[in-house]
Amino acid sequence: MSKEVNVAMIGGGFMGKAHALAYAAMPMFFWPAPAIPRKRVIVDITDEMAEDARQRFSFDEASTDWRATIARDDVDVIDICTPNNMHAEIAIAAASAGKHILCEKPLARGAAEAKSMLDAVERAGVIHMVAFNYRRTPAIALAKTFIDDGRIGEIRNFRGTYLQDWSADPDGPLSWRFQKDIAGSGAVGDIGTHVVDIAHYLVGRISEVNAMTPAYIKTRPVQEGGLDKLGASEKNASARREPVDVEDEVISLLRFENGAVGSLEATRNAYGRNNFITLEIHGTKGSIHFNYERRDELQVMFADDPVDARGFRTIYTGPAHPYGDGLWPIPAIGIGYSETKIIECRDFFQAIASSTQPSPNFVDGYWCELVADALLKSGETGKWVGVKA
């Protein structure tokens, strides 16, 4: 029988829900499972919130004291689902207590903070992972196998976007995602880092960026209740407004260490785009295209196909593709957000079971922060900025 591993989750919001689902479902999908996650403790801000989350997500216990929770002997894993400003403090404490750590993305509010976290986990020798779940979409993992097998040749060009529209309305509330002291940055950290992570995964390290980081909406209504409801938030034109101090968008040129070039665009103000994470990769032997809004599909073009039968193939991922043994028995039965998080959970517990660091871990998270800092700096200076540790 698979071993139970005790999890304490800090934060019971949108991400808490996604992770709780993954803990429950992972062994159902990947069996035998590397471990049976036991939902031991959930921590939230108030007693009421914590107890409500405990019932909803089926944890054994509720708490409002994350420090005490970390100190418990019967907790093996700390899962950080808080806003960004709490990541470092919790992660460093958890590492000191010898707990394995799954931390939501972005890892930190910048590279310096991320470095302190990385140092802590490396010192402690615990397993660490950053929850960049989108790279675990089976279609993106399939892209990785085609690239690694040389099927599209040497990569020349990468174009990545992450376009959303939930913040396009200026009367959407001033959630923590628009406050620099909590979020660290705006579109760069919130969604741009997902693209950076995918670029690092598929192409290699970004070495230099040249960015614009415009801010369009300068103030927003103060939010009642503090919730982070994204596209489900209420618009309020008459409430008191306070300043937004983060960028709304980032557009950047990219250079990679291996000589590839490319671009990145991330915005939460693109009307009509919802979770429009797209990739286009051109190689010397073929091309790849992906759009998360149609996430079951990978588009691949092989230049060595017969000239009359060349064209992008639309491959629906299923049993024959990465993670296919654990998912559904027919392609297009449906990959959703849930499945990406279930896969992530599997890989995290497999890392624990095998005592090998998963990917992306805090090293990767740190490098994403280095790129994020470079994007922000380039946005300010208008110059190419190198990415250096």
| Site for its own copies, residues 223 to 262, rule: CB under 8 A | 229-232, 249, 251-253, 255, 261-262
Q: Work out which of 45, 48, 56, 67 binds its own copies, going by CB under 8 A.
A: 56
Residue 308 makes CB contacts below 8 A (sequence gap 6+) with: none
The pair of three-digit structure tokens given for residue 114, joined into one six-digit string: 């991320």
Q: Which is nearer to its own copies, 210 or 361 (CB)?
A: 210
Q: Which of residues 324-353 bind its own copies (CB under 8 A)?
A: 324-325, 328-340
Nearest-Å Rg of the Cα atoms of the chain is 21
Pair 250, 288: CB distance under 8 Å: no
Instruction: Report the nearest approach of its own copies to the CB of residue 120 (Å).
Output: 31
Q: Name which of 131, 200, 142 is nearest 347 in CA terms.
A: 131
- Beta bridge partner(s), residue 300: 288, 313
Nearest residue (CB) to its own copies, 98 versus 334? 334
- Quick check: 13 and 43 in contact, CB under 8 A? no
Strands 100-103 vs 77-80: parallel, antiparallel or unpaired: parallel
For 148-181, letters b (16+ CB in 10 Å) and e give eeebbbebebbbbbbbbbbbbebebbbbbbbbbe
Bridging pattern class, strands 286-291 and 276-283: antiparallel
Q: How many C-beta atoms lie closer than 10 Å to residue 207's C-beta?
A: 17
Site for its own copies in 284-323 (CB under 8 A): 284-287, 289, 292-297, 300-303, 305, 307-316, 318-321
Q: Residue 218 interacts with its own copies (CB under 8 A)?
A: no
For its own copies, which stretch binds (CB under 8 A), given 86-94, 193-201, 237-245, 265-273?
265-273
Q: Rule CB under 8 A: which of 139-198 touch its own copies?
A: 142, 145-146, 152, 156-157, 159, 164-166, 168-169
Closer Cβ to its own copies, 118 or 143, answer by number: 143
The minimum distance between CB 158 and its own copies, in angstroms, equals: 10
Classify strands 219-221 and 100-103 as parallel, antiparallel or unpaired: unpaired
Q: Provide the minimum distance between the beta carbon of 207 and its own copies in the complex, in angstroms, as a whole number.
A: 13
Q: In Å, how far are 14, 17, 64, 259 from 57, measured between CA atoms?
A: 12, 7, 16, 46
Amino acid sitting at position 280: E
- Closest CB 119 distance from its own copies, rounded Å: 33
Per CB under 8 A, contacts with its own copies among 368-387 are 382-384
Query: Nearer to its own copies by C-beta: 277 or 368?
Result: 277
Footprint (CB under 8 A) of its own copies, residues 86-125: none
Residue 96 C-beta: closest distance to its own copies, Å: 31
Phi/psi region, residue 86 (left: phi>0; alpha: psi -120 to 50; beta: rest), is alpha
Token digits for 109? 């509010």
Question: In this complex, which beta carbon is closest to its own copies, that of residue 67 or of residue 325?
Answer: 325
Q: Which is nearer to its own copies, 276 or 366 (CB)?
A: 276
- Contact code string over 2-41 relative to its own copies, x by CB under 8 A: x-----------x--x--xx--xx-xxx-x-x--x-----
Of 132, 256, 276, 366, the residue at the interface with its own copies (CB under 8 A) is 276
